[in-house]
Structure 1
Amino acid sequence: MNLKLEKRSGNACELCKSDQQISVYQIPPVVGYADNEIVVCQNCRSQIDREQEMDSDYWGFLSETMWSEVPAVQIVAWRMLSRLKNETWAADNLDMLYLDEDMLAWAQASSDHEGAADLAVHRDSNGNVLKNGDTVVLTRTLDVKGSSLNARMGTVVKNIRVVEDNTEQIEGKIDGQLIVILTKYLRKQA
Structure 2
Amino acid sequence: MKLEEQLLERSNKKCELCQSGDSLQVYEVPPQSYSDPENCIMICGKCHTQIDRKAELESMHWRFLPEVMWSEIPGVQVVSWRMLNRLRAESWAMESLDMMYLNDETLAWAKATGDHDNDATVSLHRDSNGAQLFNGDTVILTKSLDVKGSTLNAKLGTVVKNIRLVEDNTEQIEGKIEGQVIVILTKYLRRQNG
What corresponds to 1:25 in structure 2? 27
Deviation of the 1:6 alpha carbon = 1.8
Correspondence 1:76-115 to 2 at 5 A: 76-115=79-118
Return the match for 2:43 from 10, 28, 40.
40
What corresponds to 1:177 in structure 2? none
Deviation of the 1:5 alpha carbon = 1.2
Change (3 A) 1:120 1:14: closer
Mapped to 1, the partners of 2:131 and 2:69 lie a distance apart of 30
Change (3 A) 1:120 1:12: closer
Query: Helix, strand or coil: the match of 1:50?
Result: coil
Could you state the TM-score of these two structures normalised by the residue count of structure 2?
0.60
Change (3 A) 1:89 1:129: farther
Deviations 1:51-95 (A, max 9, x none): 001111110011111111111101100000010011100000011
Identity of aligned residues (%): 44
Change (3 A) 1:110 1:120: closer
Query: Helix, strand or coil: the match of 1:25?
Result: strand
8 Å Cα contact 2:51/2:83 also seen in 1: yes
What corresponds to 1:73 in structure 2? 76
Asked if residue 118 in structure 1 is aligned to residue 120 in structure 2, the reply is: yes
Change (3 A) 1:57 1:101: same
Mapped to 2, the partners of 1:93 and 1:5 lie a distance apart of 26
Aligned residues: 132
Mapped to 1, the partners of 2:15 and 2:64 lie a distance apart of 12
Could you state the TM-score of these two structures normalised by the residue count of structure 1?
0.61
Deviation of the 1:32 alpha carbon = 6.8
Mapped to 2, the partners of 1:74 and 1:25 lie a distance apart of 13
Q: Which runs of 5+ in 1 are unaligned?
A: 122-126, 131-188
What corresponds to 2:57 in structure 1? 54
Q: Which runs of 5+ in 2 are unaligned?
A: 124-128, 133-188
What corresponds to 1:150 in structure 2? none
Deviation of the 1:119 alpha carbon = 2.3
Query: Helix, strand or coil: the match of 1:86?
Result: coil
Deviation of the 1:4 alpha carbon = 2.1
Mapped to 2, the partners of 1:16 and 1:118 lie a distance apart of 18
Deviation of the 1:112 alpha carbon = 1.6
Change (3 A) 1:96 1:33: farther
